[in-house]
Amino acid sequence: MDRLAIIARVLRKAVAMAGLAVMIAVALGGPAAHAVEPDEVLQDPALEARARAISANLRCLVCQNQSIDDSHAPLARDLRILVREELKQGKTDDEILDYVVARYGEFVLLKPRFVPHNYILWFATPILLALGIVLIVVSYRRSRAVAEPEAPLTAAEKRRLSRLLDQS
C-alpha cells in the first residue's frame, strides 16, 4: 500500500505546483496595455483597472488577433467606450461580457468560455499530460520487467542483510 501513498504524495505535489503555476500565470497575464486614448480613461482608477482587464479579453473584430485594449481601430475604441459606459452604470464584469457576447457573438472573447463545445479545448492539455505520464510509467515498468527480473534474496543474503542493518 505504500506505493499508493507515494503516488498520492506525488499527485498532491503536482497539484500544488500546478496551482502555484496558475497563480503565476494569472498574475503575469494581468492587464498590460496600450491603445487607450487619453479622453477614454475613467477617473476612478479601480473602475479603469476593471475596464482594462475586460478590454484585454475582448477581440478587436476588424483587426488581426488584437484585443481592443491593443488596437487603434475605431471599432475597438467604440467598444472600449461601451465597456466603460457599462461599468459606470454599475454592471459587473460578467454582465458586461454577456452583453458584448450577445451583441457580437462568442468570437469576441479571447478567453473561450468553459462550455461543452469548448471542453476539448480546455481539457486537452491536462489529459495529454496525464497520458504522457501514464505512458512513461508503463514503458519504464515494462523495460524494468524485461531487463531486471528482481530475484528474491537467498537465505544467506537475508542473514547478511540483517547483520549489516543491525550494525548501523
Partner 1 sequence: MIAETGHFALILALAVAVLQTVVPIFGARRGDARLMGFAVPAAQAQFLLLALAFMALMTAYVTSDFSVQNVYQNSSVAKPLLYKISAVWGNHEGSMVLWVLILALFGAAVATYGRNLPPTLQANVLGVQGAIGVAFLLFIVTTSNPFLRIDPAPFEGLGFNPVLQDPALAFHPPFLYAGYVGFSMAFSFAIAALIDGKIDAAWARWVRPWTLAAWMCLTLGIAMGSWWAYYELGWGGFWFWDPVENASFMPWLSGTALLHSALVMEKRDALKVWTILLAIVTFSLSLVGTFLVRSGVLTSVHAFAVDPARGVFILGIMAVFIGGALALFAWRAPLLRQGGLFAPISREGALVFNNLILTTACAAVFVGTLYPLALQSLTPEKISVGPPFFNYTFVPLIVPLLVAVPFGPFLAWKRGDLAAASQRLFAAACVAVLAMIVVAALQQRGPWLAPIGIGIGIWLIGGALSEVAFRIKLFDAGRAEVIRRAVNLPRSAYGTMLAHAGLGLVVIGVVATTAWRVEDITALKPGESTEIAGYTLRFEGVRESEGANYAERVGFFDVSRGGEAITRLTPSKRHFNVEGSATTESAIHVSWRGDLYAVLGDPLEGGAYTVRVYFNPLVRLIWLGALVMFFGGGVSLFDRRLRVGAPVRAKAKVPPMRLADAK
Question: Interface residues with partner 1 (CB under 8 A)?
Answer: 17-18, 20-30, 32-39, 41, 56-57, 59, 64-67, 70, 72, 105-112, 117-118, 120-122, 124-125, 128-129, 132-133, 136, 140, 143-144, 147-148
Nearest to 32 by CA among 13, 7, 49, 9: 49
CB closer to partner 1, 59 vs 87: 59
CB closer to partner 1, 4 vs 90: 4
Looking at 29-118, list the stretches that DSSP marks H as alpha helix, in order from N- to C-terminal side.
Answer: 45-56, 74-88, 93-104
Nearest to 59 by CA among 112, 13, 130: 112
Min. distance of Cβ 65 from partner 1 in angstroms? 5
CB closer to partner 1, 82 vs 109: 109
Residue 38 C-alpha cell reads as: 487619453
- Number of CB atoms found within 10 A of residue 80's CB: 25
Min. distance of Cβ 159 from partner 1 in angstroms? 20
Min. distance of Cβ 14 from partner 1 in angstroms? 8
Min. distance of Cβ 28 from partner 1 in angstroms? 5
DSSP state of 109: B
CB closer to partner 1, 107 vs 159: 107
Q: Do residues 64 and 71 make contact, with C-beta atoms less than 8 angstroms apart?
A: no
